[in-house]
Amino acid sequence: MSAEVERARMLVRDARAEFADDPRAAAELAACERRLDEPLRVALVGKLKSGKSTLLNALVGEEIAPTDATECTRVVTWFASSDGPRVELTHDGGRRTALPVHRAEGRLRLDLGPVPADRVERLVVGWPSTLLDRYTIIDTPGTSSNSPDVSARTMAFLTPEHGSCPAEAVIFLMRSRHDSDVALLRQLQDQIGGGGPLGIVGVLSRADEIGGPAAGRHDALGAARRRTDELRTDPELSGLHRDFVAVSGLLALRGQTLRQREFNALSALAGLPDQALTAALISTGRFTSAELPVPVDQREQLLEAFGVVGIRVAVELVRAGARDAPSLAAELVRHSGLGELRRILDARFGSRHGQLKAHAALTGVRRVLRRLPAARTARLLRSVELLLAGEHATTELRALGALPTLPVPEPTRRVLELALGGRGIAPSTRLGLPADASPPELRSAALAAIGYWRQQLGYPLLEPLTERAYRAAVRSCEAIVSNAA
CA distances from 352 to 134, 189, 244 (A): 11, 20, 21
Is residue 375 within 8 A of residue 365, CB to CB? The reply is: no
* Interacting residues of 138 by C-beta distance below 8 A, sequence separation 6+: 41, 42, 43, 44, 76, 77, 78, 79, 157, 166, 167
Is residue 310 within 8 A of residue 58, CB to CB? The reply is: no
Q: Which residues pair with 150 in a beta bridge?
A: none
Alpha helices in 119-257 (DSSP H): 130-134, 148-158, 179-191, 220-231, 249-257
- How far apart (Å, rounded) are the C-alpha atoms in residues 34 and 361? 9
This prediction's pTM: 0.87
What are the extents of the domains in the chain? Answer: 38-248+339-348, 257-335, 406-485
pLDDT of residue 9: 97
Q: Which long-range contacts (CB under 8 A, 24 or more apart) does 183-190 make?
A: 184/45, 184/47, 184/143, 185/237, 185/240, 185/241, 186/240, 187/158, 187/159, 188/45, 188/158, 188/241, 189/240, 189/241, 189/401
CATH code: domain 38-248+339-348 is 3.40.50.300
First to last CA, the chain: 24
pLDDT of residue 228: 83
β pairing state of 86-91 and 120-127: antiparallel
pLDDT of residue 178: 80
pLDDT of residue 216: 46
pLDDT of residue 196: 66
Report which residue type is found at 346: D
Task: Per-residue pLDDT tens, the chain, 485 aa: give them.
Answer: 688 999 999 999 999 999 999 999 999 999 999 999 999 999 999 888 888 999 999 999 998 887 765 667 788 899 999 998 999 988 888 888 888 888 877 778 877 778 887 788 889 999 999 999 999 999 998 876 566 677 788 888 887 777 778 898 899 998 888 888 888 888 777 766 555 677 888 898 887 776 544 444 546 677 788 888 888 778 788 777 777 899 999 999 999 999 999 999 999 999 999 999 999 999 899 999 999 999 999 999 999 899 888 899 899 999 999 999 999 999 999 989 999 999 999 998 999 999 999 998 999 999 999 999 999 999 999 999 999 988 898 889 888 877 877 889 989 999 999 999 999 999 999 999 999 999 999 999 999 999 999 999 999 889 998 999 999 999 999 999 998 76
pLDDT of residue 146: 60
Q: How many CB atoms lie within 10 A of CB 14?
A: 15
Cα 353 versus chain centre, distance: 14
